[in-house]
Structure 1
Amino acid sequence: MHPSNAPLPPTLIVIPTYDEREALPGTLARLRAAVPAADVLVVDDSSPDGTGAWAEERAAQDPAVHVLHRAGKQGLGPAYLAGFAWGLEHGYQQLGEMDADASHRPEQLPGLLEAVRRGADLAIGSRWIPGGAVHDWPLHRQVLSRGANVYVRALMGLGVSDATAGFRVFRAELLEQVIAEDIASQGYCFQVDMTRRARDMGAAIAEVPIDFDERTEGASKMSSEIVREALVKVTLWGLSRRAQALRKALD
């Protein structure tokens, strides 16, 4: 997908952080170079390693960089929700999300923004469609991610190949509706939750192929608790959708 030369609407990219002092500087520099017209909001959960303090120093030098501090480690989903709420309050028309560790290539963000410009309400950077790829991932991570998405697709019928992806851009109008409801999900589960809510609202969802790189700095935040939450909630959501479909068929 070739990005257009149209001016970029007010755009905010939300980056949640917890102990990402090593990784964030490089990611932020690449992001500012790739999409200089976009603003960035670092949402830091009081990182013990000084990530929030470094981000404040960077924000003092660059008016396009902003920092939102939260008290203690509260989780990925709540961090994104806080960042999205901040962005909507400040009038951004497009709001994106990406990891701090450069697993998502900032240079591929223009492709997601272009998908929204062409009519998508939600653009998802997908690893599991033609053209997408993962690099330097151990086999068990690939099996986990592929398996999770196959399970979500089979049980929930979202029509999305990478519902767990965390590299996304939302149109503000959709995001306002989605986060107006109560959302209490983390990790994989948060991304699936946002996808299913967008689909239920009739949103136009586009998947854009991306490269996903294994992080080279810092430590992964993935845990067995996050995987367990996703399995339980996706199962419950899927069974609920099937029950609703059955009731409609019987009416």
Structure 2
Amino acid sequence: MLLKTQEKIVVIIPTYNEADCIEKTIHRIFSVLQTLMNYTHYVIIFDSNSQDNTAHLVQQLQKKYSQLILLSEPQKTGLGSAYHQAMNYSLDILHADIIFECDADLSHQPEYIPTMVEYLKEKDCVIGSRYVEGGSVPGNWPWHRRYMSMGASWAARFILTPKYRDFTSGFRGTRHKALRNALPEKFISNNYAYKLELLWRLHQNKVKIHEIPIAFRDREAGKSKLPPRSIRDFMKVISILRLKTMEKYFKMVLIGFLGLMLQLIVFNVFRPYWGPFFASQISVMAAMIHNFVQNGRYTFKTPVYENSSIQLKRGVYFLGYSILMILFQSFSLKLCVSYFGPGPIKENLFLLIIIFIASILNYLVYSHVIWKRQGGAGMGKTLIEQQ
């Protein structure tokens, strides 16, 4: 009988001048991890050239904890950069199954880790959330800390998605497949706003994300490392992320416009010879093929090595939907004309409105059905590839 391989948990803790609290944090985390009997575990301290003796204290504790790893960089590059480097190390060198993000100052209590691990048996990402029911922040938090934390989360919920309450939580556990597929080559921000980007990328990949309530504690020692102008950084990242998602829509609209131009050219080339009816059929098919190929290549970027049967199935879906949209636009225009009356200005106005509505429907169907990306175990595969 084959024995089930134990899963590997890696807890990442970035540090910069945390000598006042790092020893206590490491002891607490290992005491919790050692209670997880069915898992192996490592703790990575990623030190960003601390000017106190943080690194030395970690080196001393390595004599006690063989699973304690110290990574360092020659100069401080930012929290997001530190996590990016440590996450890649966890995935590529340690081959972690679950990766935790955790602060060095015990504001994230390690005792929540077993609960998060339990949820990760069914979820891809678990967030320690301050703003779901049961969660809390310190009552004595200064107003600017509350404003920065809650304001960034509110902005992200309004501009990106209202699905998550705590976009800026730095206490998360993520499964390796989900993290590997969401991790960019470089975060937009090297600072705290990386949290927003990573959560949004996980969300875009349709992974299973769950928030559990935590009581966030203020640091027990040392000074806050929150850089100035963080709220500006958060807003910059939120805006870029939203514009990037709209980029696909505008690409699709541009390709659709080029398809329309192609349709008109083909129609007028063949019309004198075969008449308007047959010319219109050929021109519609030419536009459909153009839109399918170009959307796959540029808008949704399907792999060039994609299986031919998958391409055929996707093409059938696209063709069937395109025929439905032709019928939708034709009957919608007929309905508008019959209700409001004919006339060149009105008819063209109706057509423009219908085309605009159709473009939104097209984007939703293209991105959520024809070129949909699935999360979880099938991360990176489209809906059609999984059928």
Asked if TM exceeds 0.5, the reply is yes
Amino acid at match of 2:66: P
- Supply the distance in 1 between the matched residues of 2:134 and 2:233 (Cα, whole angstroms): 30
Aligned equivalent of 2:30: 32
Gaps of 5+ in 1: 1-5
Paired AA for residue 112 in structure 1: M
Secondary structure class of the residue paired with 1:133: coil
CA 168–33 in structure 1, closer or farther in 2 if over 3 Å, else same: same
The alpha-carbon deviation at position 220 of structure 1 amounts to 0.8
Gaps of 5+ in 2: 254-358, 363-387
Q: Distance in 1 between matches of 2:84 and 2:162?
A: 22
Looking at structure 1, the residues matched to 212 and 190 of structure 2 have their Cα atoms a distance apart, in angstroms, of: 23
- 4+ long deviations beyond 3 Å: 239-248
Structure number with greater Rg is 2
* Aligned residue among 180, 197, 203 for 1:199: 203
The aligned residue for residue 189 of structure 2 is 185
Q: CA deviation at 1:250?
A: 6.2
Deviation at 1:214, TM superposition (A): 0.9
Q: What is residue 303 of structure 2 aligned with on the other side?
A: none
Partner of 2:172: 168
Shift of 1:139: 2.8
CA distance in 2, matches of 1:154, 1:188: 19
TM-superposed deviation, 1:236:
2.7
Report SS of the residue matched to 2:7. Answer: coil
Matched, 1:45 2:44: no
Taking the aligned partners of 1:208 and 1:7, their CA distance within structure 2 comes to 27
2: distance between equivalents of 1:8 and 1:157?
35
Counterparts of residues 129-168 of structure 1 (less than 5 Å): 129-135=132-138, 136-157=140-161, 159-168=163-172
**Which has more helix, going by share of residues?**
2
Distance in 2 (CA, whole Å) between partners of 1:7 and 1:149 is: 38
Deviates more, 1:13-22 or 1:149-158: 149-158
What's the offset of the Cα at 1:7?
A: 9.5
Q: Cα RMSD over matched residues?
A: 2.0
Structure 2: distance between partners of 1:158 and 1:211: 22
**Number of matched residues?**
245
1:208-227 matches, within 5 Å, as 208-227=212-231
Cα distance between partner residues in 2 of 1:24 and 1:158: 35
Is the CA contact 2:102–2:170 (under 8 Å) kept in the aligned structure 1?
yes
Could you tell me how far apart the structure 2 residues matched to 1:171 and 1:177 are? Answer: 10
2:17 corresponds to which of 14, 19, 22: 19
Is 2:108 aligned against 1:110? no
How many percent identity over aligned positions?
28
Map of 2:370 onto structure 1: none
- Give 1:111 deviation, angstroms: 1.7
Letter in 2 for 1:31: I
| 8 Å CA contact retained: 1:137, 1:213 | no
Match of 2:328?
none
**Which residue identity is paired with 1:30?**
R
Judged with a 3 Å threshold, the aligned counterparts in structure 2 of structure 1 residues 69 and 188 are, in CA distance, closer, same or farther, namely closer
2:102 maps to 98
1:219 Cα deviation after fit: 0.9
In 2, the alpha carbon distance for the partners of 1:238 and 1:179 equals 17
Deviation at 1:115, TM superposition (A): 1.4
Q: 1:105 to 1:69 in 2, by over 3 A?
A: same
- Out of 123, 138, 144, the position equivalent to 2:126 is 123
| Contact 2:20/2:222, CA 8 A, preserved across alignment | yes
User: Is the partner of 2:120 in helix, strand or coil?
Assistant: helix
The letter for the 2-side match of 1:121 is: D
What secondary structure sits across from 2:62 in the alignment? helix
SS state at 1:232 partner: helix
Cα distance, 1:240 vs structure 2: 4.0
Higher relative contact order (CA 8 A, sep 6+): 1
Change (3 A) 1:239 1:85: closer
Q: Which moved more, 1:63-72 or 1:139-148?
A: 139-148
Q: 1:242 Cα shift?
A: 4.9
**What is the CA distance between 1:114 and its match in structure 2?**
1.4
> Quick one: structure 1 residues 214 and 150, their matched pair in 2 at CA, closer, same or farther if it must change by over 3 Å?
same
Measure the CA separation in 1 of the matches of 2:20 and 2:136: 25
Query: Structure 1 CA distance, aligned partners of 2:6 and 2:16?
Result: 29
More strand by percentage: 1
**Cα distance between partner residues in 2 of 1:8 and 1:149:** 36
1:26 corresponds to which letter in structure 2? K
Secondary structure in structure 1 of the residue aligned to 2:173: strand
Q: Measure how far apart 1:43 and its partner are.
A: 0.3
Tell whether the 8 Å contact from 1:78 to 1:184 is kept in structure 2 after alignment.
Answer: no
Secondary structure in 1 matching 2:174? strand
2:141 counterpart SS class: coil
